[in-house]
Amino acid sequence: MSNFEIIQSRDKEYVANTYGRFPVAMVSGKNATCYDADGKEYVDLTSGIGVNSLGFCDDGWIKAVTGQLSKLQHISNLYYTEPCGKLAEMLCQRTGMKKVFFANGGAEANEGAIKCARKYSFDKYGAGRSKIVTLRNSFHGRTVTTLSATGQDVFHNYFFPFTEGFEFAEPNDIADLKEKSAGACAVMLELIQGEGGVLPIAKEYVKEAEKFCKENDLLLIIDEVQTGVGRTGSLYCFEQYGIAPDIVTSAKGIGGGLPLAAILFGEKTEYVLKAGDHATTFGGNPIACAGGVEVISRLDESFLGEVAKKGEYIRERVRAMPHVRGITGLGLMLGIELDDDIKAADVVKKGIQNGVLLLTAKTKVRLLPPLTITYPELDRALEAIGKTLTNM
Ligand SMILES: *Cc1c(COP(=O)(O)O)cnc(C)c1O
């Protein structure tokens, strides 16, 4: 048996079969380059679904994480630790938000945001004003409540009864949002629907939604689990929309590869959740936060400018490739729209054979490379994508 076959057969027997894995086992990597169990090299345009923002095994990140690891790995939120407060301070100073709650993943961050919105309204208006409007085709997570918040019927199956109190508005249709908002306490949306197909929501619509929310004291929750932490060329995507959300959720890229998520609270929401209202055992783990401090401190203006430039570089080259109808997205969150007869999943499979790791999002090929990807790595990836599409 090959190294891969040994790893695969054990996994198939003992790991719950909830994932359709590709027939590859990864063992090591540096920046956007990684190696499988039999030594084959790949360029990674997935960053572990937007998680490894500084790529594989970044030197500064390893130093930050292992430095904390050899001091104190965990103590619980009953005590103070330095990395948690440092990261919260950086996030608030960079975004203008006021307070941070740390969680472990995107769904958990969104759950906390939902709880905060409902409590804000309960405290001020009493029971009943609990509905949250989200958008059709959105994705907000896999817990029972965040599945309920997800505006795609395919996710509303098997696990009944789902959490009540969610209604879905048509993206970019402000009249529909206003109509669906009767009796609501919040509007929650992604600025670029990621899992839904890398679909940016129109700026004018988001601005109008913000205005409508302010006028009616609905909280505006922006799910930046995928778009946040430099992914779109600004620290958070909402900056490019020129809005001031009441709550922002962040996860995927924030820990640089360790499980970490954050709920950012604005002026209206910073004191809503009080001692005992919300908690999590692992949230704010000092190792994960030390990694987060390194990630955020690296994402200065010049770094973010590079993210935008690399995105343009990819766009220009991919646009000229066969079977490409268009490219959507922002910065290094890109969706390649293909000819109708080309299946995105087939492109990803063939890409692996040609040494490039890609993602899908609905009918598109999705790219979420590490933000630190170098131009030589990009060129290798683009060559492999070109070869893959030419042979489809
Ligand atoms: C990935 C994602 C989530 C869920 O995050 P998990 O860490 O998998 O729970 C929620 N919202 C958006 C926009 C996402 O992209």
Burial class (CB in 10 A: 0-12, 13-18, 19+), 308: middle
* pLDDT tens track for 356-383: 999 999 999 999 999 999 999 999 999 9
CA distance 277 to 230: 31
Q: What is the mean pLDDT of residues 76-105?
A: 98
Burial class (CB in 10 A: 0-12, 13-18, 19+), 78: exposed
pLDDT of amino acid 272: 98
Q: What is the mean pLDDT of residues 154-168?
A: 98
* pLDDT tens track for 341-355: 999 999 999 999 999
What proportion of the chain, given as a percentage, has pLDDT over 90? 100
Pairing state between β 41-44 and 356-357:
parallel
pLDDT of amino acid 136: 98
Beta strands in 245-330 (DSSP E): 247-250, 261-265, 324-330
pLDDT of amino acid 355: 98
> What are 93's two structure tokens?
């100073």
Which of 232, 252, 333 maximizes ligand 1 atoms within 8 Å of its Cβ, making it the mutation to test the pocket? 252
pLDDT of amino acid 159: 98
pLDDT of amino acid 128: 94
Give me the phi and psi of 9, to 5 degrees please.
Answer: -65, -35
Which of 188, 198, 224, 225 maximizes ligand 1 atoms within 8 Å of its Cβ, making it the mutation to test the pocket? 225
* pLDDT tens track for 287-332: 999 999 999 999 999 999 999 999 999 999 999 999 999 999 999 9
CA distance 184 to 246: 15
Is the minimum distance from the CB of 350 to ligand 1 under 6 angstroms? Answer: no
Helix, strand or coil for residue 220? strand
Q: What is the mean pLDDT of residues 19-39?
A: 97
- Domains defined for the chain, CATH in brackets: 3-58+301-390 (3.90.1150.10), 72-298 (3.40.640.10)
pLDDT of amino acid 331: 98
Q: What is the pTM of this model?
A: 0.98
Q: How far is CA 339 from CA 79, 246, 311, in A?
A: 55, 40, 22
> What are 218's two structure tokens?
């609905």
What proportion of the chain, given as a percentage, has pLDDT over 70? 100
Beta bridge partners of 249: 223, 263
* pLDDT tens track for 94-122: 999 999 999 999 999 999 999 999 999 99
Report the mean per-residue pLDDT for the chain.
98
* pLDDT tens track for 176-208: 999 999 999 999 999 999 999 999 999 999 999
Q: Radius of gyration (Cα) for the chain, nearest Å? A: 21
Is the minimum distance from the CB of 251 to ligand 1 under 6 angstroms? Answer: yes
The Å distance, Cα 137 to ligand 1 centre, comes to 14
Is the minimum distance from the CB of 81 to ligand 1 under 6 angstroms? Answer: no
Q: What is the mean pLDDT of residues 13-33?
A: 97
pLDDT of amino acid 306: 98
Q: What is the mean pLDDT of residues 30-53?
A: 98
The Å distance, Cα 2 to ligand 1 centre, comes to 34
pLDDT category at 55 given cuts 50, 70, 90 is: very high
